Amino acid sequence: MAKKEKNFEVVKKYYFRKGEIVESKGYDWIGEACFELYPVELDGKLGFADCNGKIVVPIIYDRQCHINDTVWTGNSEYLDLRKDKLYGLIRHDGTEVIEFQWEDMSLRKLSEDLLPVAIGKKWGFVNVKTGKTQVQPAYDDVKFFKNGFAPVRIDKKWGMIDVNGNVIIKPKYLLDSHFVGDFAIMFEGGSYRYVGNTILISDSNCKIVNKKGYEIVTDCSWIERTGVNTFTLTRKVNGKSVDTVRQFIAFPDYIIVIDEGEYLKGYITTEGKYSEEYVLDSKKGLDSTHYSNAKYVGGGTWSAIDYTGKTITIPNSELQKLKENLITNN
């Protein structure tokens, strides 16, 4: 019986080049290079070679893997490959980082050293630096980590966890969201649909949630973020939409609320209680730009709420001190 000939893809630019000579190297298939690695296939197995045709990653992996993610989309350090129908993670030099024990993983969502992995259709996170499971697989879907928090989904409802797997926001919301500054905008109830790249949300209660999981603003038909911690709240009053501008300044035990103020420029310093500086601007709201000689001009009604959203009373002397910190002379 004649030996079966190999079938080569006749795509010249995909073949290895050495000078002006195109070499197939005897592989069944050679893919397009990314980060100077060529995917190569031989007898139904996948590996990777460098631009000289030298095998860097052994040809031992399943052909059915995230080839689009690992190669054509690209990751500058890792490849998520499958061996014996289970996924693992290796570096571009072939070094194994995460054992091949997962049914799925999402290299595109790798952030803050935490990689989403799945087994039994449940998702968790593995730390790529230690190779250990940091968040046990317990979620129907997860997003990437940002500033220490990641959205997670259970039974079509979204919440939030921290890097240690602690549930910060219980999964009960319509859509996923990340914290920007100290707060996240969440939607409870209702429905949504996509029109092109736009999400249309109907009959949902819009809320602002802080990093302790407390809803500090509720019962809004819409909330627009106009700055890091500044929002325009839209509520229905007697059948009409009424907008309210609110700025929230987070402190360890309470939140200062500034209502309906018209602000020019200013910055917040609280003698170490709050480490970040922000600028108040009438158009941008609470912006992260720093103005060393900015002044606070304008007014507004001052009040305070705790982390449950309940209005509280703080000593006038302390409140006055906070106000004075906003009024600075050049």
- Boundaries of domain holding 90: 8-100
- What is the model's pLDDT at position 3? 43
- What is the model's pLDDT at position 5? 42
Q: Is residue 45 part of a domain?
A: yes
- By C-alpha distance, which of 242, 227, 122 is closest to 185? 227
Q: Is residue 14 part of a domain?
A: yes
- What is the model's pLDDT at position 215? 84
The structure tokens listed for 66 are: 């995230």
How many distinct structural domains can be found in the chain?
1
Who's near 106: CB < 8 A, 6+ residues apart?
69, 115, 116
Q: Is residue 48 part of a domain?
A: yes
Each residue's pLDDT expressed in tens, for the chain with a length of 330 residues: 444 443 333 333 344 444 444 455 677 888 777 788 888 888 889 999 887 778 899 999 998 877 656 555 568 899 999 999 999 999 999 999 999 999 999 999 999 999 999 999 999 999 999 999 999 999 999 999 999 999 999 999 999 999 999 999 999 999 999 999 889 999 999 999 999 888 999 999 999 998 888 888 888 999 999 887 888 999 988 889 999 887 776 655 555 555 544 333 333 332 322 323 333 444 333 333 333 333 333 455 556 665 555 666 666 666 666 555 544 432
Q: Is residue 38 part of a domain?
A: yes
- What is the model's pLDDT at position 40? 86
Q: Where are the beta strands (DSSP E) in 131-273?
A: 133-139, 141-142, 149-154, 157-162, 167-173, 183-188, 191-195, 198-202, 205-210, 215-220, 222-225, 230-237, 240-250, 255-259
- By C-alpha distance, which of 16, 96, 89 is closest to 54? 16
User: Cα(81)–Cα(90) distance, rounded to whole angstroms?
Assistant: 8
**Cβ(43)–Cβ(4) below 8 Å:** no
- What is the model's pLDDT at position 176? 96
Q: Is residue 288 part of a domain?
A: no
Q: Is residue 193 part of a domain?
A: no
Hey, how many other C-beta atoms are within 10 angstroms of the C-beta on 198?
7
Q: Is residue 69 part of a domain?
A: yes
